[in-house]
Structure 1
Amino acid sequence: MLTRRLLQLFTGVAMYGISLAMFIRAGLGLDPWDVFHQGVAGRTGLSIGVVVIIVSFLVLLLWIPLRQWPGFGTLCNAVLVGLFADIGLALIPAFSHLGGQVGLLAGAVLLNGIASACYIGARFGPGARDGLMTGLARRTGWSVRVSRTLIEVVVLAVGWFLGGSVGVGTVVYALAIGPLVQLLLPVFMVPAAHADAGSGGDSRSAAPEPLASTN
């Protein structure tokens, strides 16, 4: 079972990074956090993958006052999503015609949903950004939805101001990713008993509540 969980984790974060590259190459808009990443990348000259990694670890610093603990999957997510995003950008060409852009966007949403279900289902811990949302909700008493909305409105606004891409893809992602992950998660979810046994019974490795953004 541990082998399956590790395979799901690494496959999931790799596909997540590739899906980010597909969103960028589609050129129709990104999800809120990646609007922010793209904006920072454009202003600093760093690759978007490097920005994703740096922001992930900065967000993890915010876990400290929230008393949130990262899991093995949290750290893998922080490093590998950015790495595979840059690999994807090196391999995937940009599309100049609308049909290709729409097809790439649809493929990106689907791949992102599968990737999210894979790594959440492996139960090795949430991504840095999801952990920030759930930790904020737990410490403040706000709902996860309110915490998520507040954080993503802020990063979307800052990212747009910095020059990140906001468009129809941003809306499509927001509407589609939650139901898609909810649909796919039962297929990939490792039973809690197996996850506890593989992690020495540490409940911090349990999967979080599925969120529309799972990076």
Structure 2
Amino acid sequence: MHRTLIWRWAFFFVGQLILSLGITMTIKGEKLGIGPWDVLHVGLFRNFGLTIGSWSIITGLIIVGGTAAVLRRWPQIGTWLNMLLIGLFIDFFYWLIPDISTIAGQTAIFVAGTGVMAAGVGMYVSPGIGAGPRDTLMLIITEKTGWSVKTVRTGLEVTVAVAGWLLGGPVGIGTVLIALFLGQLVHYTIPWFRNVLAKISASTDGNLNRRETPAE
């Protein structure tokens, strides 16, 4: 059980890191437009200062408050960690990854970043430690309405993209692609990583049971 818990937290933290990397990669491809939530964060950054990561944390805090009111309970510790870590990691990767000036380079990093984001969401959500504020909102709406994950995520991201655009955030074909297709990818990455984690947990528990069983 102890090793299984370690694996769950490993999936959670590594998934956060991968998701943040993917987000930053798409931001570095901003000539195509950026992801819907990041359109909002960049729009807020351009209007009010701070950093993109800081606005990710602030909007996450607002969503956490709203979902807590709906559910009438505080979110899991993982949700709070996600809210903080994603913002910090975005600012770190934004500093680490150099700016790309060519359209070809920005296109490549944007497309790759979208796939990395989907993998990161699937990996950190799979252990059930606590989805981030935005994914918690997605899961709540999915549960309340019975709609699919891809439908709810797409609807949320289109709404957020419009709000970010009104604030002056960069919207382009890339924004549309993420709004339409990231939810489709996450629809498959979440169950895939859950299956991987289940297999690892079963293997770990099986090995521990064999060790603990006394020889006849």
**TM-score of the superposed pair, with normalisation by structure 2:** 0.79
1:174-185 equivalence runs, <5 A: 174-185=179-190
Preserved contact between residue 18 and residue 87 of structure 1 (Cα < 8 Å): no
Q: Separation in 1 of the partners of 2:88 and 2:81?
A: 11
19, 39, 42: which one aligns with 2:43: 39
Q: Rg larger in 1 or in 2?
A: 2
> How many residues end up aligned between the 2 structures?
193
Preserved contact between residue 29 and residue 166 of structure 1 (Cα < 8 Å): yes
- The answer to whether structure 1 residue 20 and structure 2 residue 23 are counterparts is yes
C-alpha RMSD of the superposition: 2.5
User: SS where residue 34 of structure 2 aligns?
Assistant: coil
Preserved contact between residue 13 and residue 124 of structure 2 (Cα < 8 Å): yes
- The answer to whether structure 1 residue 165 and structure 2 residue 170 are counterparts is yes
86, 89, 107: which one aligns with 1:84: 89
Amino acid across the alignment from 1:32: P
**TM-score of the superposed pair, with normalisation by structure 1:** 0.79
In the alignment, structure 1 segments of 5+ residues that lack a partner are 195-215
Preserved contact between residue 157 and residue 179 of structure 2 (Cα < 8 Å): no
Q: Separation in 1 of the partners of 2:156 and 2:176?
A: 17
From the superposition, tell whether residues 158 and 179 of structure 1 become closer, same or farther in structure 2 (CA, over 3 Å). closer
Cα shift at 1:103: 0.8
User: SS where residue 107 of structure 2 aligns?
Assistant: helix
In the alignment, structure 2 segments of 5+ residues that lack a partner are 202-216
Residue 210 of structure 2: aligned partner = none
7, 11, 15: which one aligns with 2:10: 7
Preserved contact between residue 73 and residue 119 of structure 1 (Cα < 8 Å): no
Deviations 1:103-158 (A, max 9, x none): 1011101211111111011211222112223435656x574677656544442222
> Higher helix share goes to which structure?
2
Residue 64 of structure 1: aligned partner = 68
Cα shift at 1:53: 0.7
Overall identity of the aligned pairs, in %: 34
